[in-house]
């Protein structure tokens, strides 16, 4: 649908999902804001108090309906699930 492409490094792979790895892929704006001029691949990024290893950077996408598509950080869904506490039913 959006045809996301990786500019540097790689995207999240099956082994990352299966192993619940703490890896992330940065949107282009996040990369520019945090690592301007420095290769972020292999570096650590703290997200919500947890360390993630940066494995990739997405290509610049720009705005879509006034939403900056470059402001995202992608993590494996299996890893994200481990950090979430389901709501308690009362």
Q: Rounded to an integer, what distance in angstroms lies between the CA atom of residue 21 and that of residue 11?
A: 13
Kind of pairing between the strands at 67-68 and 73-74: unpaired
For residue 85, pLDDT over 60 is answered with: no
Mean pLDDT of the chain: 82
* Residue 3: half-sphere exposure toward Cβ, Cα within 13 Å: 0
pTM of the complete model: 0.80
User: Which of the two residues, 36 and 87, has the higher pLDDT score?
Assistant: 36
């Amino acid at each position: 649908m959006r045809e996301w492409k990786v500019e540097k490094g790689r995207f999240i792979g099956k082994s990352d999902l299966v192993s619940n790895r703490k890896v992330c892929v940065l949107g282009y704006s996040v990369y520019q804001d945090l690592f301007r001029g420095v290769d972020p691949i292999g570096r650590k990024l703290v997200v919500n108090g947890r360390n993630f290893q940066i494995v990739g950077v997405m290509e610049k996408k720009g705005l879509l309906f006034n939403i900056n598509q470059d402001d995202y950080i992608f993590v494996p869904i299996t890893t994200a699930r481990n950090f979430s506490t389901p709501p308690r039913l009362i």
